[in-house]
Amino acid sequence: MIKIRKEEDRRGASNGQRKDESRNDTRSDEKRGDSRRDDRPDRPRRDDSRGPRKFEKRGAPRGGKRPGGRDFFGNRPPREEVSDEDFVSKAEVVSEHRFNDISEIDAQVLSLLEKRSFLIRKEGAWRKSRQKSLVDPQLEKLLRGSFDKKSNELGLDSKLSRTLFTLLNQFSLADVRKTFTGDGYKLAPRVEAVTAGITGPRSFRYTRMMLAMAASSGSRISLSPVTMNAPNKDMAKALKQVGAPIHWDDDEIRSDGGKLIGFEGTMAFVGEDSFNFYMLLCLALGHAGRCKFTGKPALQLLDIASLNKVLPRLGARLVPMNPNNPGLPARLECGGPMDEDVTLPGSIDPDFAAALTLAAWSFSGGLTIKGLNKIARERVAEAVEVLTACGIKAKLTKDTVTVSDGIPTVPENPRLPLSVRLCSQLLALPIFCGGQINITGHWPAHDKANNVVKELTKMGLKIDIATENIIATMEGIVPDKATIGLGETEDLMPLALALALKVGDTRLTGPANETAMELLDRMGAAYEIGEDALDIKPGKKEWDGTWFSPDPIWSMGCALMAYSVPGIILENHGEVTSTWPEFWNFYNSLPTGKMKPKPVKETFDDEKRRRIKIR
């Protein structure tokens, strides 16, 4: 018994020794752990006050499936199929998020643009008050340098960045569009048969070309009746700046003749119409020397680089005076040898082709112009008509025009043809409300005018063309379905869209027009965009909101569309008045067309007038 107890005591002692050693090892481990933690002070310690640490359970959960979609044996479950509806809905959500993000950025960009424009306009107003130019060259130079530097840092395209800087400055120089807060100009005409007559506006382009012919040849001319809008008045002023004896009043432009124009050392302000600039430019090609051209901000972005693909063949070159702007102001240097024929590139402005045709008689040996596309040929045809009326031989073929040199015989009182783009709107009135309209004036005989008559006749209209007037009478029935080709000409697209809304089921041939599609969206119309065609579906259409018209011709087109979709509201109807002052007066007086008389200026007899001194 004693021996057994000693054995137990010995085992207990050894066990106690092992426990003490275990405690010592634990303490040493803690010390080593503390030293390791002290060596890495950035390692955060666990806060024991937060309670015991919790660990995520690992391994297969109940049911045999492990994380990652595998079961206990490591097999994946069958893949669930995603329906097309789920995919479409997800795509719509992503698209909506992107739209919100991008539109928010656009709003910020536009807000900053408005602030930038305000600051530059403020600087311009201060300079104007001190009889200086609106733009500070030194400030613009510094801003452009800073802009280019930041653009390069961001890795943006340098060419596009320079163009963007020029565009930003255009916002500062352009007229400020005030926020629209009024009720707008509501178009809701009475649908009654018209019995009206009006003296139609004459062609603005024909008027300016005839005036240029008289000024360049030193001939006497009287142009009447003339609509004294910005293009006509700017052309008269520009010709006067280069020496033409020109005068004008409310509805007439006169040139006294007997004096030739000269471009050497002059600077001509051509306004904002590019056709005015092209005519002055091409007339200057026949004069050796240097001259300058300037205009409104819209012409500062004109691409004159394309003109230098043709001008060297005519002994000239055109250099922008501001190397950072692609357009005006520009300096023309001419007087070198000229070729007798040139080929126009497809990218050149069709108005330049018309202006070059008009001035070709002043070149030694004349000129043959090749490479005319469809639009350029249409514009050149108008110039050929003016040359023929002035006794200059000009022959137009499919894609070539040949003009002989000579001395023009400009008629002193030429007959100005009606404006096709404006008067075609009047001719179509009986299609929308019935009746008859009589337009006083000479209807031209070129392809564009003939096409208008052809298309309107298909709508049931009878058109009688006389020497001094044109009468349109609604005798047929508007078809239920039609194909209208007027949209192939850009300035006839408003009329084409108005006719399409009247018909209902219509195909408009020609390139897609963004303004037309915007109007259709405002009306809630159903349409499809095809290849060189726009298919408009029948159905009820209602107008929504107000609209800022991009051009007066679109405002006139809306006046016709209102017969089919009443309630169209325009924000800027006044721009039509500056283009054609009588339009709204005539439109509001329908169906009779009896307009209110123009206000007569009060005149005073100088003998009866006396000054009264007020103390």
Quote the CA–CA distance of 387 and 359 in Å, as a whole number: 9
pLDDT at position 20 over 80: no
Reduced DSSP (H G I as helix, E B as strand, rest coil) percent helix, strand, coil of the chain, to 5:
45, 15, 40
Q: What pLDDT sits at residue 19? A: 47
Query: Could you identify the residue written with the tokens 């602030």?
Result: 115
CA dihedral 259, 260, 262, 266 (to 10 degrees): 40
Pairing label, strands 435-440, 469-474: antiparallel
Residue 555: exposed, middle, or buried by beta-carbon count in 10 A (0-12, 13-18, 19+)? buried
Asked whether residue 41 is domain-assigned, the answer is no
Asked whether residue 355 is domain-assigned, the answer is yes
Cα 563–564–567 angle (5° rounding)? 70
Q: What pLDDT sits at residue 600? A: 55
pLDDT at position 360 over 80: yes
CB contact at 8 A, 404 and 384: no
Quote the CA–CA distance of 211 and 218 in Å, as a whole number: 10
For the stretch 397-456, pLDDT in tens is 989 999 999 899 999 999 999 999 999 999 999 999 999 999 999 999 888 899 999 999
116-148 burial, b if ≥16 CB within 10 A, otherwise e? ebeebbeebeeeeeeeeeeebeeeeeebbeeeb
Q: What pLDDT sits at residue 86? A: 54
Residue 437 and residue 301 share a domain: no
Q: Is 527 helix (H, G, I), strand (E, B) or coil?
A: strand
Q: What pLDDT sits at residue 149? A: 85
User: Hey, how many other C-beta atoms are within 10 angstroms of the C-beta on 36?
Assistant: 10
| Least confident span in 58-67, 92-101, 147-156, 538-547 | 58-67
Asked whether residue 12 is domain-assigned, the answer is no
User: Hey, how many other C-beta atoms are within 10 angstroms of the C-beta on 199?
Assistant: 13
| Least confident span in 92-101, 197-206, 272-281 | 92-101
Q: Is 142 helix (H, G, I), strand (E, B) or coil?
A: helix
Asked whether residue 46 is domain-assigned, the answer is no
Domain at 433, CATH number: 3.65.10.10
What confidence category does residue 131 fall into, taking pLDDT thresholds of 50, 70 and 90? low
For the stretch 260-308, pLDDT in tens is 899 989 999 998 899 999 999 999 998 888 999 998 877 887 888 889 9
| Residue 534: its H or E element | strand 533-536
Quote the CA–CA distance of 509 and 492 in Å, as a whole number: 12
Residue 423 and residue 365 share a domain: no
For residues 442-471, average pLDDT: 91
Residue 248 and residue 169 share a domain: no
| Least confident span in 115-119, 245-249, 487-491 | 115-119
What confidence category does residue 31 fall into, taking pLDDT thresholds of 50, 70 and 90? very low
103 phi/psi in degrees, rounded to 5: -65, -35
Asked whether residue 30 is domain-assigned, the answer is no
What confidence category does residue 251 fall into, taking pLDDT thresholds of 50, 70 and 90? confident
CB contact at 8 A, 591 and 190: yes
Residue 337 and residue 232 share a domain: yes
| Residue 352: its H or E element | helix 350-359
pLDDT at position 237 over 80: yes
Alpha helices for 174-284 (secondary structure H): 204-217, 230-241, 274-284
Q: What pLDDT sits at residue 270? A: 92
Residue 543 and residue 428 share a domain: yes
CB contact at 8 A, 330 and 321: yes
Domain termination site, one of 368, 403, 438: 403
Q: What pLDDT sits at residue 402? A: 95
pLDDT at position 515 over 50: yes
Task: Copy the structure tokens of residue 588.
Answer: 């509001």
Residue 33: exposed, middle, or buried by beta-carbon count in 10 A (0-12, 13-18, 19+)? exposed
Q: What pLDDT sits at residue 559? A: 94
Q: What pLDDT sits at residue 498? A: 93
Asked whether residue 21 is domain-assigned, the answer is no
Q: Is 555 helix (H, G, I), strand (E, B) or coil?
A: helix
Residue 381 identity: A
pLDDT at position 335 over 90: no
What is the share, in percent, of the chain residues with pLDDT greater than 90?
40
Domain termination site, one of 375, 403, 431: 403
Query: Could you identify the residue written with the tokens 């909506």?
Result: 96
| Least confident span in 84-93, 106-115, 249-258, 375-384 | 84-93
pLDDT at position 134 over 90: no
CB contact at 8 A, 245 and 282: no
Question: Of residues 178 and 104, which shows the higher confidence score?
Answer: 104
- For the entire predicted model, the pTM comes to 0.72
Q: What is the CA radius of gyration of the chain?
A: 39
Residue 189 and residue 251 share a domain: no
Asked whether residue 103 is domain-assigned, the answer is no
Residue 540 and residue 436 share a domain: yes
Alpha helices for 504-608 (secondary structure H): 514-523, 552-561, 574-579, 583-588
Residue 369 and residue 320 share a domain: yes
Quote the CA–CA distance of 189 and 99 in Å, as a whole number: 39
For the stretch 323-334, pLDDT in tens is 767 788 899 998
Q: What pLDDT sits at residue 435? A: 93
How far are the Cα atoms of 202, 212, 581 from residue 226, in angstroms, in the given order?
A: 7, 15, 12
Q: What pLDDT sits at residue 37? A: 45
For the stretch 479-498, pLDDT in tens is 988 899 998 888 899 999 99
| Least confident span in 144-148, 401-405, 497-501, 566-570 | 144-148
Residue 437 and residue 370 share a domain: no
pLDDT at position 2 over 50: no
Asked whether residue 54 is domain-assigned, the answer is no
Residue 444 and residue 359 share a domain: no
Q: Provide the residue count of the chain.
A: 615
Contact residues for 38 (Cβ-Cβ < 8 A; gap 6+): none
Q: What is the domain range of residue 582? A: 185-198+418-588
Task: Copy the structure tokens of residue 306.
Answer: 């394309």
CB contact at 8 A, 353 and 379: yes
CB contact at 8 A, 453 and 485: no
Residue 262 and residue 150 share a domain: no
What confidence category does residue 36 fall into, taking pLDDT thresholds of 50, 70 and 90? very low
Pairing label, strands 527-530, 533-536: antiparallel
Query: Could you identify the residue written with the tokens 């329906």?
Result: 83
Quote the CA–CA distance of 113 and 529 in Å, as a whole number: 34
CB contact at 8 A, 402 and 385: no
CB contact at 8 A, 520 and 529: no
Count of the separate structural domains present in the chain:
3
Quote the CA–CA distance of 168 and 297 in Å, as a whole number: 12
Residue 238 and residue 343 share a domain: yes
How far are the Cα atoms of 75, 302, 309, 565 from residue 344, in angstroms, in the given order?
A: 73, 17, 8, 44
Domain termination site, one of 377, 403, 429: 403
